[in-house]
Amino acid sequence: AAKKAGAALGFDPADMISLIAAGAPGLAQVRAVVAKPGETLALGDLRLHSPIPRPPRNIFAVGWNYLAHFNESETAQKAKQEYPAHPVFFSKASHSMNGPFDPIPFDPAVSTLIDWEGELAVVIGKGGRNIKEADAMGHVFGYSVINDTTARDVQAKKHGGQWFKGKSLDGHGPMGPWIVTADGLDPDKLHLQTRVNGVVKQDAKTTQMYFKIPRIIAELSAGLTLEPGDVIATGTPPGVGNARKPPEYLKPGDIMETEIEGIGIIRNTITQVA
């Protein structure tokens, strides 16, 4: 489309990280191209990949960022833990990234306790280190939907409990269906819902996030450089399968949907590996 419009782009149009790193000038070029009449493709005829198919670094994530999710955690309650005074960070391997409508692998030899965690994803646009809370939103490129799909048995039990691996199985981080730029919505007032086979499992508002996005970015970037294209999963609300009585887990054939108002929906089928 850019070639047909006679546009010389300052970034690689096949590389989302390149566009993000180009900043406001890059976005302006994109908007100028799509504003011109030209060839279009029907969305239904396309296969959407994750907006950032292979992040150059691990996906950052925040644990226990909804008070009600902390309260439903049996582990936290048994240990009589107090709510954290600061955001709790962990990461998912970049290979856990998956497309918005792609299957999620289920390998019973590795895990049979696969759980859902619908979340709002923040995509960093402007890199930085020691970012001040007051300046943090200026570093955001946009927002997407992500599901921090988790192998609970690997996370908590196997080999003494492997938190990182339990969060990082291949394809266990579907994201999409696209990125809505930061000027396109207010991230503090969004409705988030996770459904399994059409049944609502998580239903919350991002206003319920305990640590807001500016605080998350400020604390994560303290002594740690954030780069354009970094993805931050901001935490999951209550309603995860592991906390239910009795516990519920995903099985082959289940359809997991994660939807956030103003962004869109991702829909993934749990598929047993051959």
pLDDT per residue as tens digits for the range 94-149: 999 999 999 999 999 999 999 999 999 999 999 999 999 999 999 999 999 999 99
State residue 134 phi and psi, 5-degree precision.
-65, -20
Residue with token string 């995860």: 240
6 pLDDT above the threshold of 50: no
* Tokens found for residue 222: 């303290």
- The mean per-residue pLDDT over the stretch 51-62 comes to 97
**CA 222 distance to own-chain centroid:** 21
> What is the average pLDDT score of the chain?
94
**CA 141 distance to own-chain centroid:** 14
- The mean per-residue pLDDT over the stretch 69-85 comes to 76
Please give, one letter per residue, the 3-state secondary structure of 78-129: HCCCCCCCCCEEEEECHHHEECCCCCEEECCCCCCCEECCEEEEEEECCCEC
Q: Say if residues 21 and 46 touch (Cβ distance below 8 Å).
A: no
How do residues 7-41 score in pLDDT, each as one tens digit?
A: 578 899 889 999 999 999 999 999 988 888 877 88
Entry pTM: 0.94
Confidence at 71, pLDDT banded by 50, 70, 90: confident
3-state secondary structure of 76: helix
Distance CA 26, CA 33 (A): 11
The pLDDT assigned to 158 comes to 79
CA angle (223, 227, 232) in 5-degree steps? 85
**CA 47 distance to own-chain centroid:** 19
**CA 117 distance to own-chain centroid:** 10
| 164 residue type, one letter | F
Confidence at 77, pLDDT banded by 50, 70, 90: low
The pLDDT assigned to 161 comes to 87
What are the distances in angstroms from CA 186 to CA 120, 143, 191?
Answer: 12, 10, 11
Please report the domains of the chain, with CATH numbers, ordered by start residue.
Answer: 1-40 (no CATH), 49-272 (3.90.850.10)
In sequence order, which residues have a C-beta less than 8 Å from that of residue 136 and are 6 or more positions away? 213, 214, 215, 216, 217, 218
3-state secondary structure of 46: coil
**Torsion of the alpha carbons at 99, 103, 107 and 110, rounded to the nearest 10:** 20
The pLDDT assigned to 34 comes to 85
Distance CA 124, CA 234 (A): 12
Distance CA 145, CA 126 (A): 20
Q: Which DSSP state fits 47?
A: P
